[in-house]
Each structure stands twice: as C-alpha cells, then as structure tokens.
Amino acid sequence: MDLQKTEIDTDKLVGFQSEINRSVYDIAFIDAKIDQFLKDFKKSKRPVMLIGGGVGLAKATELLQKAGRMLKIPIFPTWNALDVVPSDYKYYGGCVGTYGGPGRNFGIQNSDLLLAVGSRISGRITGGNLKTFARAAKKYVVDVDPVLLQEKLQQVPFDISIRCDAKLFMERLILKLENRPLPNMSSWTKQVLDWKDKYDPVLPEFFKQKEHVNPYAFMRTLSQEMKSGDILVADCGGNIVTSNHAFETKNFSNNGNSPMGFSFCGAIGAWFASNKKSNVVCIIGDGGFTMNIQELQTLLTYGIKVKTFIMNNHVYGIIKAFQDTNVEGRHEASGPKGYVPPDFVKISDAYGVSTRRIKKNIDAKKMIREVLAYDGPIICDVDCGDWYTYEPRVFGWDTPIEDMYPYLPRDEFRKNMIIDPVLGWEKPHLPGIKAKKQKK
C-alpha cells in the first residue's frame, strides 16, 4: 500500500537505455572469437545456426537474416524466434526441440558446428538426454547475459561462450563476412531443407478428416488466409504446439512463461499497438479462455477488433498427453473427468460479443474467411472433438531429440542420421504408455 500510494516524479526515474552500450563489450575478444568461428566454419561440413528470442529483443532480425544469406546455412529458430526466422525465410530449417516440428530435429542433431545466438539452449530444446544434443557439433553460444553463460548454468557444455548483444554480434560478423570467400554449403543446406519439407507435421489426411475440426489442418489454413503484417497471438498447452507446428510465418507468442489465458489479453495489447488495419488473431484453448473470460467486456468497452478462435477440444489437451506419457493415461482433472468447459458461444452472446461456431473440418476455410473479414470483435468456437495428438514429439525425457514419436521405420531413420544414432530410437515400444489409442 505504501508503494502504491507513493507520489512519483517520472522525470526523476532512472531511464532504460534501448541503444547498445558498446563500452561494456570487449570488441577485440568478440572479433577474435568470430575469426575462430570462421576458421571452424571452413573446416565444417554441416554448420547450422540456432536463433533464440534474444535476437528479436535486440532488434537484430534484419542483420541476422542478412548474415544467414551470406553464410547460406540452415537456421533454426526456437519458438520464441519464429518471427525472427519465419517459415518463408530462405534458410529456415524447421523448428527444433522436444516438440521439434518440421524436420524432426534431424538437421540440428546431425550438425558439426553450431552457432547459437540469443538462446540459452534450454531443456525444451535439448530434451533430457543432454549428451546426445547436437553431439558432433562444436558449440558457439552468444548471449547478452553473462549469467546465462556461466558453466554451471549450461544445459549442454558450450565450447565457446561469447558475451555480446545480438545486434552488435551480427554487425561484427557481417563486417568479417563481407568480401570473404566462403565454403559452399549448398548440398548440406538442401538436405536440411528437404528434411523440413518431407517431415511436415501437417499431414494430407488431416484435411480429409470428417466430423470435428483438425487443429493442424485448421492452423495451416489460417496461416494461408492471414495476410503479411497480421498478428497471431497463441496461448499455452496443446494449441501453442499445433500453432507452432502448423502456422507458417507471422508468429508472436508467449512461450517463455506460458500462462494460460495470456493470448486473449496479449492479443488485446497487440491490437492497441497495431496499425488497426491488419488483423489481430488470438488462438486459445478452452481451458485458457476460461482464465480471462471477463475480458470479453473489454473488447466491447474499447471496441477492440480482435478475432479469437477457441480451439475447443473440451479438455486440457497437453495435460492429457502428459498423463498418457508419464502416468499411464490416468486422466485426472484434465477432462471430461474433473474438467468440462462451458458453452463459450452462449457466454459471449450474453456479453453481446458476436460469435461463430465451426463444427466440421470441411467448414473451416469458409468460416476462417468469414471471421477474418468481420469488422469487430468476434469469438469463434472451433469444435476439435477431444483431439490432443501433438506430433512429432520426443517421447520420454531421456530420449535423444531426433528420436521422435511417431517412430520412423528403422531404414528411414538410418538414412537420415549422418551422425551415429545412440540406441534410443531402436526402442520397439513406447515407454510407460498404456493409454488407449486415440481416434483421429
């Protein structure tokens, strides 16, 4: 209460400096490490970059994309950098990690040189089997935060740690790359991009599904229907997995903390910051929507034209998937036992917000168009039945991340692993799973 009542003279507050304070960085050290990286790059056969949210925060997106066009190597964004390395970027190599989507992690796992910028390479990226993460790669890690570069906090040991702002690092890297002959990595890069295209999580049969809406098909269609410059804010749980697996380009999300209900308010914030001409779309689960349902009134009070799609699978999808993997399919409090969502259309109607329902997969495209074209706030309930099949994904925490479920036939797996696989993928059965097979 004392703090809340305190009078503040805003002119006297300590300011935040958005410009890089170059004096805190050791430029000679950074340049020497870049030289070392370029020497290793010459010897390398399978170099890659891993880009985290830090690059976007440092406003280094354009410089990173320029450096990528010079190096011509595969670049993998973490989920927090999907708008830094969008899916239509020439060297986008797919998503990586325990829910690694397009490419099923073959690119990063086969690499022999890894340059990570603005990512602390968290457990979501490495999986729990740390010694198998990019196991043949010499790892350069660039981070602005010296704390994250401390050895004791590294999930996987970094070979070379470079403390630097991402923008400054990219500037120095580009200076070194200009007018320098570089080895041709085109066949490796093509191989990674082929993996990405071949192992697209969005399967053709998803579009043919009868009855309920298939979330993967829905997200891919939505990404085709949204325009460049539109904003997508996705939430938490299974709907963020399907968004990140299937939505192409234009993404903006909350993957760090992942609080349920974030995207509804995040989209409202994004609408205020937007040009008011582009669409701002909110993707949210039924569980997440319940968390901030009172903001329906805010849409009306301020005339906020956010278009919200509730991916309604009537359960806590990601929790059920976790329960299948880890507690033998005992679905406690994840629905329908212990959790049942209300009828969101009736609730939104009561607030006076416009509504739509999509009940069938086949109607998705038409309805997406109608909602996107609607001039005002609108809530669309997307009936996904009880879908919670998020694939591909690493099954079991101690599994190398190229060993994804659904497992590939042995021969196909071997063809894709240049680096010797550890035995994980040879497992003939799914560890610990006794859950019923789901209907798709």
Closest separation in Å from C-beta 329 to ligand TPP: 16
Of 105, 244, 313, 389, the one binding ligand TPP (CB under 6 A) is 313
- Contact between 239 and ligand TPP (CB under 6 A)? yes
Of 56, 238, 392, 400, the one binding ligand TPP (CB under 6 A) is 238
C-beta closer to ligand TPP: residue 37 or 264? 264
* Interface pattern 178-217 for ligand TPP (x via CB under 6 A): ----------------------------------------
Of 48, 231, 311, 367, the one binding ligand TPP (CB under 6 A) is 311
> Interface with ligand TPP by CB under 6 A: which range of 133-141, 225-233, 295-303, 315-323?
315-323
**Which is it for strands 404-405 and 393-394: parallel, antiparallel or unpaired?**
antiparallel
> Interface with ligand TPP by CB under 6 A: which range of 36-44, 153-161, 172-180, 313-321?
313-321
- Contact between 75 and ligand TPP (CB under 6 A)? no
270 vs 267: CA distance, rounded Å: 5
- Contact between 234 and ligand TPP (CB under 6 A)? no
Give how far Cα 83 sits from Cα of 54, 60, 77, 192, 252, Å: 12, 12, 9, 20, 7
C-beta closer to ligand TPP: residue 319 or 358? 319
Of 49, 73, 318, 401, the one binding ligand TPP (CB under 6 A) is 318
Q: Which of 55, 53, 83, 64 is nearest to 166 (CA)?
A: 55
C-beta closer to ligand TPP: residue 213 or 319? 319
CB 234 within 8 A of CB 280: no
Closest separation in Å from C-beta 262 to ligand TPP: 8
C-beta closer to ligand TPP: residue 56 or 285? 285
Q: Which residues 1-20 are close enough to bind ligand TPP by CB under 6 A?
A: none
- Contact between 81 and ligand TPP (CB under 6 A)? no
Closest separation in Å from C-beta 132 to ligand TPP: 27
Closest separation in Å from C-beta 347 to ligand TPP: 15
C-beta closer to ligand TPP: residue 187 or 294? 294
Q: How many residues bind ligand TPP (CB under 6 A)?
A: 19
- Contact between 385 and ligand TPP (CB under 6 A)? no
Closest separation in Å from C-beta 312 to ligand TPP: 8
Of 133, 195, 316, 395, the one binding ligand TPP (CB under 6 A) is 316
* Residue 284, H or E segment: strand 280-285
Q: Which residues 247-266 are close enough to bind ligand TPP by CB under 6 A?
A: 258-260
C-beta closer to ligand TPP: residue 36 or 255? 255
Closest separation in Å from C-beta 164 to ligand TPP: 32
Closest separation in Å from C-beta 333 to ligand TPP: 9
Q: Which residues 271-310 are close enough to bind ligand TPP by CB under 6 A?
A: 285-288, 291
SS (H, E, C) the chain: CHHHHCCCCHHHCCCCCCCCCHHHCCHHHHHHHHHHHHHHHHHCCCEEEEECHHHHHCCCHHHHHHHHHHHCCCEEECHHHCCCCCCCCCCECCCCCCCCCCCCCHHHHCCCEEEEECCCCCHHHHCCCHHHCCCCCEEEEEECCHHHHCHHHCCCCCCEEEECCHHHHHHHHHHHHCCCCCCCCHHHHHHHHHHHHHCCCCCHHHHHCCCCCCHHHHHHHHHHHCCCCCEEECCCCHHHHHHHHHCCCCCECCCCCCCCCHHHHHHHHHHHHCCCCCCEEEEEEHHHHHHCCCHHHHHHHHCCCCEEEEEECCCCHHHHHHHHHHCCCCCCCCCCCCCCCCCHHHHHHHHCCEEEEECCHHHHHHHHHHHHHCCCCEEEEEECCCCCCCCCEECCCCCCCCCEECCCCHHHHHHHCCCCCCHHHHCCCCCCCCCCCCCC
Closest separation in Å from C-beta 318 to ligand TPP: 4
Footprint of ligand TPP (CB under 6 A): 236-239, 258-260, 285-288, 291, 311, 313, 315-319
